[in-house]
Chains A and B, each alone.
Chain A
Amino acid sequence: MLSLVSRRVRNSLVLLVLATLLCFTLVVSAPGNIAVLIAELRSPNASFADIQKIEEELGLNDPIPVRYAGWLTGALTGNLGISYKTGEEVGPALASRIPVTAMLVAGGGTVALLLSLVFGFAGAMWPRHWPDVAGRGVALLGASMPSFFVGALLIYAFAVELRLVPTFGLAGPSSWILPWITIGLLPAAVLSRVVRVGLEEAMARPFALTAVAKGLNRRAILFRDALPNIAPTYINALGAQTGVMVVGAVVVEPLFAWHGVGDLFLTGIRFRDFMVVQACLLIFISFFILLNLLVDIGMIFTDPKLRRQGS
C-alpha cells in the first residue's frame, strides 16, 4: 500500500513540474509584447527605447531556459512577479485571496457532501417514495441551473425579499450561506445521484441478499454493506466535483463580491495581466494535481483490492 501511495506522490511531482512548464510556456507564447503593454501603462506616449528598457528590466531578452529557471525559483519562494496592471506584487495579493476561495470551496463542499449523502441515502432507503422523488427533483433542478442563475435567485429570495442574509460581501457566517449553497448545489445534485444509484446497484448485488439472510434490516444493509462499496466511486466523484467548484469560484466570487482567487483570475484575464493569470493558473493546476493525488490515496484506502496491492 505504501509503495502504491509513494508511486502516486512521485507521479504527481512529475506532473507538477510539467505543469509549471506549461504555465510558463503559455505566458511566453501569449500574443502581444508585454513590454509594450507595460510601457503604455506607464506613459501613453512611450518611445521604442522605453520599451527596450522595460524588456531588459523584465529579462525578456534572456534565453528561455534561463527565464524559466528564474521564474520557477521566484515562484517557489512566493515571488510571482509584479502585476502589470496595479504594479503590486502578485504573491502577497494571491496569498490574501487563497483563504477566501478555500473557504468558499470548503463550504460548498460541505454543503454538497451533506446534501448528497442525506438525499442519496434517503432515496435508497425509501425508493420511489417521497424522499426519493424529492431528492431526484432537487438533483434535476440543481444540475440544470447554472450557478450565476442560482446565485441571483437566492440573492433575490433570501437577501432582497426576505432580508435574512446580506446580498454580498464577506462579513460573518450569515454572509457565507448563500455563496456556499450557490457553489455547492450542482455538486450536491451530481453526488446525490452517485450515492443513490450506487447504493441501488450495491443493493442488487448478491452480497446484499446475504445481508438480508443474516437478518439485518434495510438501513443496516445500506450502511454496512452498500456504503463501503460505493466509497471509492464517491471519493472519485467528490474529487471531480471539487474541481468543478474551483472553476465555479470564478463565477460565484464576483457574484457575491468575494475577493478570492477566482475573482483575481477573472480580473487578470480582463486586463491581460499575464503575471496574475500565470500565478492563478499555477495555483489552480497545483491544486488540481493535489486533489487528484488525494482522490487516488482516498481510493486506495477505501478499496481493499487496491489497498493490498504492492504490500
Chain B
Amino acid sequence: MSTSSPILTVRDLCIDLFTARSALRPVDQVSYSVAAGETLAIVGESGSGKTVLNFAPLGLMPLGVSIHVSGSIRFDDKELVGMNDEALRKLRGGSIGVIFQDPMSALNPARTIRRQIAEVAELHLSLTSTQAEARALDLLKMVRMSDPEARLRQYPHELSGGLRQRVMIAIAIAAEPKLLIADEPTTALDVTVQAQIISLLKDLQKRLNMAMVLITHDMGVVAGIASRLAVMYAGRVMEYGPVQTVLTAPRHPYTMGLIDAIPRAEDLPGSAFRGLPGMPPVLGPPIPGCAFVERCRHAVATCETTRPLLAPTADRHVLAACPIVNRSSEALHAG
C-alpha cells in the first residue's frame, strides 16, 4: 500500500436528501482517504449509500432532489464541500473520472464513439477536434479495443456490453484524471468480461498513477483490485481497513455476515444461501444507536441507544464501528 499523503480525504461526510415528500440521510459521518495509485473499495448492499456518497458531492445526482452536504472532502488540496458549481464542473471529467454501472445506457445512442470520447479531451485538455479525435484513437488502444479505427466510427448499439464499458473507461480516463470513481463497473457484465475489465482498470491505474474508488458489492472484485476496503451499512462505515485483513479476519458483525454470505466452492449443490437475517433499516428518521442492531447477534442494550463510532481495533490498521465485538475479541486475544 502506498504511504504517500492521500489525494482524497473524506472527513465526517453527511449527505441529506430532500425530496418533495421526505428527508433522508443516505450518508452519515463517513470518513476515508485514498492515495495516488491506491484503490479503495466501498462495499455494501443496495441502498447502503455508497453511490450517493461518491456522486452527490460531485453534483452527479438526478434532478428533482435537493441535497445538503456537510463535513469535508479534500481532493488535490481543494475542498469540494461548498465548492462553486463552475469549479466543480471543471474537476468532473478532468481530474476526476467516473465510470458508471450500466454501459448499455451510459453512452449516448445518437452519437459516434469518436465524438463521445473526443469531446472530453477537447474540453479538459484544450485540444482541437482533430487532435482530440487522434487522442480518442489512442485511448481506444489503451483500453485494448480490437480494431479501434472502426470502433470510432460506430455507435454504442453496435458494440457489446464489454466493449461499451471499455469506451466508458476511455471517456473516464481521457483527461488523465488523478482520481477515478468506478460505480459497480462490472455488475452489468458477464463473468469472463468482468475479469478483463478489472485487469484493465488495474493496468490503467498503474500507468496513470490514479487513485481509485471502486464501488461494488462483489467481494471477488474487491480482493482482486483493492488495497483498502470500507464496508458500508445504512449510510455508515461499519469497518475500514486493508483488504486482506478485513476479508480474512472481519471485526464487525456486519462484515462477518457479508463475507459469510458469499457462496463457497465447498457448498453442496442445492444448499440454501447463507444470508443475513432481517432487512436493512428504512432510511428516514435518524437512528440513535447502531444501524445494524436489529440484525446483530452480538447486540447488547447500549447498541440501541449509543451510536458506536469508527475506532481502531486490536489491529490498529483496521477500524470498526462496534465496541462490543472488538472488546470481546481483545479479551479473547488477551486470554
Q: Chain A: how many interface residues by the 8 Å CB criterion? A: 24
A304 adjacent to chain B (CB < 8 Å): yes
Further contacts, 6 of them, CB under 8 A, given A203-B63, A209-B106, A213-B172: A210-B106, A212-B92, A213-B58, A214-B171, A229-B109, A305-B109
Check B108–A210 contact: CB distance below 8 A: yes
Asked if B92 and A213 sit within 8 Å, CB to CB, the answer is yes
In this complex, what residue of B is CB-closest to A208?
B108
The answer to whether A304 touches B155, judged by C-beta atoms less than 8 angstroms apart, is yes
B221 at the interface (CB under 8 A from A): no
Interchain CA distance A304-B159 in the complex, whole Å: 13
For the complex, is B157 an interface residue (Cβ under 8 Å from A)? Answer: yes
- State which residues 192-242 of A face B: CB under 8 Å: 203-207, 209-217, 224-225, 228-229, 231
Known interface pairs A210-B171, A214-B92; A303-B110 also in contact (CB < 8 Å) = yes
Contacts of B115 in A (CB 8 A): 224
The answer to whether B108 and A211 have CB atoms under 8 Å apart is: yes
For the residues of A in contact with B, the DSSP-based class is: helix
Q: Is A308 an interface residue when CB atoms closer than 8 A count as contact?
A: yes
Q: Which of B117-125, B290-298, B301-309 contacts its partner?
A: B117-125
B187 at interface by CB-CB < 8 Å: no
Task: Give residues 92-119 of B contacting A (CB, 8 Å).
Answer: 92-94, 97-98, 100, 102, 105-111, 115, 119
B276 at the interface (CB under 8 A from A): no
The answer, yes or no, to whether B274 is at the interface (CB within 8 Å) is: no
Closest to A213 in B: B98
Tell whether B91 is near chain A: CB-to-CB under 8 Å.
Answer: yes
| Cβ–Cβ < 8 Å partners of B289 in chain A | none
B119 CB to nearest chain A CB (Å): 7
On whether the beta carbons of A231 and B110 are closer than 8 Å, the reply is yes
Decide if B270 is an interface residue (CB 8 Å cutoff): no
Bound Cα distance A302, B100 (Å): 26
In the bound complex, residues from chain A placing their C-beta under 8 Å from that of B158 are 308
Task: Compute how far the CA of A210 lies from the CA of B93 in the bound complex, rounded to whole angstroms.
Answer: 9
A-B contact pairs, 16 of them (CB 8 A): A206-B106, A207-B105, A210-B106, A210-B171, A212-B60, A213-B58, A213-B92, A215-B89, A215-B91, A215-B94, A215-B120, A224-B115, A228-B108, A229-B108, A304-B157, A308-B158
B-chain residues with CB within 8 Å of residue A215 when the two chains form the complex: 89-94, 120, 123-124
CA of A203 to CA of B63, assembled, Å? 9
Taking the closest CB of chain A, its distance from the CB of B94, in whole angstroms, is 6
Report the minimum CB–CB distance from B123 to chain A (whole Å).
Answer: 6
